[in-house]
Structure 1
């Protein structure tokens, strides 16, 4: 994902505009996979869906260097759809493996592993690219296949949908379950808003630092600070707070994310940028694990995959909106973006607290 635009505009000789359309197509595949991929796992079992998606996805990734360029318009979104479906089933299996109330800890462990991968992966990918672009995709695809075959013997086979049918009752559908949960329906828009704010870290923050005369090294250091804090603190914090109300923790996290981005509106220096990063990362540590677990805990067992996809899809929507919305505001009024981010974070926090009142009603 990190190197796709470079690959398309380099070895594949596409224009920047065309490459942008292809990358945009992968975002559509990712979004559709997040929202709909959970249905396949809930209906047919997360184990077979995960194994099928990872097998086809791994083979497709290996084939990228030899695929005709014209196939990318369809092939890339399909691969991203499979990747999102695989991710949703993985999250659902992890959620079903532990009891409600303990899912914050398991999600924190998963996120710590993911962040460790994001620390190791980019420099490793860059080293591979120095040798061969073809090797990048071959190694990536083979790794997907290797993990698929290594974990297959350990995956549970239970299908909650079929278990519910065997119990003699027709399982409640997704839409009916959501209509009955007004608190969750209030929370979902807040997830989109906060992720839109958070993803400014990867879109407008580097522009802001550059335009303020700061070197690229500062931006790289900020991301290292954030990843390091998550690796060190997310699991201990999840363990310490696992018995507290999820609404209060999520609302506090959303508020801290907003405040952290508002701090980028201060005169830019190393100290102010690091302070902003520490505050917003503190918010991320609080809300991401807790919000994911909260949505999964609200799901009936036979709908865990679709609820996992619902949360992932809401967050992915924020990711897709972050670039165009953030850059448009930054281009029109750079100084306005940061207080708007702060206000959005606080409004999202207030929405979470309002949804808590609905849950109690």
Structure 2
């Protein structure tokens, strides 16, 4: 993510998109097809309820999927560095297809829990490999655009896919699982035919515990992981305390759905244009602003007692999301040595996903004590994450000369 100098003409979004390599577009196409049909787990509760399982048991199956997704972040990163990005994506997709079909057939509850865990693991196993592949094939200065395109396509595919899934479910739940499996197979075939076999040479894989010791000794990355976990705790209040707040204002579930729809609409329309601006800004500054806006947006919820005010708050934290998300992936890619890119992205995904656990637990406890106090705490956490990210000054990890040169060129790297 190289900073544009004042002597260079400003690049347009069209120029940035045209110069993305073909493999980045193929990854985006494959991920979009897969995300369009990744709706089996969304309908899992309804599916299990239709087979007579209680709501607590259905919820336990969804939790098993979530635990699998957390495991996938670390395991997927390790495999991406060990067996290569292409092979990890293909393994993820083909095994995901098999697990989705199995989930539609198993009936004993313990078997459902086991297969749901595998489904969550394999469905998300590709993500660190995909993020690392972008870093492999996209030049440093174009990575923010590449990650923004990938997020745009995935969000658009999911939004369109969920609506389609409802139509399929009305006819047969099996069609939901079968379509999900088919999309995974398509993505797996695209990976095998289109992506390079870029396994690291023997001796450069940073294998095992030694590789993770190198990563954890990278204090710049460690600080960024902590900041990401803090802001993720705040961000995932959209799934827990925000709906409670909306209902407490006398609004409806439909109103809450409209708020989340606004978030998706803003991301689809504005994230790519915003990425043209953020790619010119040093990464630490962009991330700090994004994290601050996420915290501020949720803090303002304490003052939002009507739909117009709630629209404003959602708009604020959505802008923060659009600024920080693509830059975050690119920043991690710039920090990581090539042979550890998968594990860097996997740990980043794990710490971000930790918000799906810490958010509901802490949010539920603290919101019942003082709702306004909790929203204020969200603002404080966003400020802390922003300050922590902006305060990252240097990398205290031993790197090769090529790695040091790359990070020095990257905004927010070794420069004071």
Place the TM-score, normalised by the shorter chain, in its bin: over 0.9
Shift in Å at residue 280 of structure 1?
Answer: 0.5
Shift in Å at residue 170 of structure 1?
Answer: 7.6
Q: Which position in structure 2 is the counterpart of 1:58?
A: 97
Shift in Å at residue 120 of structure 1?
Answer: 0.7
Query: 1:30-77: CA deviations, max 9, x gaps?
Result: 111101221112111121221122112112212322112331221111
User: Taking structure 1 as reference, are residues 171 and 21 closer, same or farther at Cα in structure 2, changes over 3 Å only?
Assistant: closer
Shift in Å at residue 177 of structure 1?
Answer: 2.6
> 1 or 2, which has the higher helix percentage?
1
Q: How many residues align?
A: 355
- Identify the match of residue 194 of structure 1 among 231, 255, 277: 231
Q: Which position in structure 1 is the counterpart of 2:18?
A: none
Q: Does residue 18 of structure 1 match 2:57?
A: yes
Asked whether the 8 Å contact 1:188–1:311 carries over to 2, the reply is yes
Q: Does residue 47 of structure 1 match 2:86?
A: yes
- Identify the match of residue 225 of structure 1 among 224, 240, 262: 262
Q: Which position in structure 2 is the counterpart of 1:327?
A: 364
Cα RMSD after superposing both structures: 1.9
Q: Which position in structure 2 is the counterpart of 1:31?
A: 70
* Helix, strand or coil at the partner of 2:104: helix
Query: 1:245-265: CA deviations, max 9, x gaps?
Result: 100100000110111011110
- Identify the match of residue 81 of structure 1 among 121, 139, 145: 121
Shift in Å at residue 324 of structure 1?
Answer: 1.8
Give ranges in structure 1 of 5+ residues lacking alignment.
none
Q: Give the Cα separation in 2 of the matches to 1:267 and 1:249.
A: 27
Asked whether the 8 Å contact 1:12–1:69 carries over to 2, the reply is no
- Identify the match of residue 252 of structure 1 among 280, 289, 301: 289
Shift in Å at residue 232 of structure 1?
Answer: 1.6
Shift in Å at residue 111 of structure 1?
Answer: 0.3
* Helix, strand or coil at the partner of 1:141: helix
* Helix, strand or coil at the partner of 1:268: coil
Shift in Å at residue 311 of structure 1?
Answer: 0.9
Q: Which position in structure 2 is the counterpart of 1:109?
A: 149
- Identify the match of residue 179 of structure 2 among 139, 154, 158: 139
* Helix, strand or coil at the partner of 2:167: helix
Q: Does residue 209 of structure 1 match 2:249?
A: no
Once the two structures are overlaid, the 10-residue window that deviates more, 193-202 or 18-27, is: 18-27
Shift in Å at residue 322 of structure 1?
Answer: 1.4
Q: Which position in structure 2 is the counterpart of 1:153?
A: 193
Q: Give the Cα separation in 2 of the matches to 1:36 and 1:74.
A: 17
Q: Give the Cα separation in 2 of the matches to 1:343 and 1:38.
A: 31
Once the two structures are overlaid, the 10-residue window that deviates more, 249-258 or 210-219, is: 210-219
Shift in Å at residue 357 of structure 1?
Answer: 6.2
Q: Give the Cα separation in 2 of the matches to 1:224 and 1:38.
A: 31
- Identify the match of residue 316 of structure 1 among 343, 350, 353: 353
Shift in Å at residue 107 of structure 1?
Answer: 0.4
TM-score by structure 1 length?
0.93
Q: Does residue 94 of structure 1 match 2:134?
A: yes
Q: Give the Cα separation in 2 of the matches to 1:26 and 1:340.
A: 30
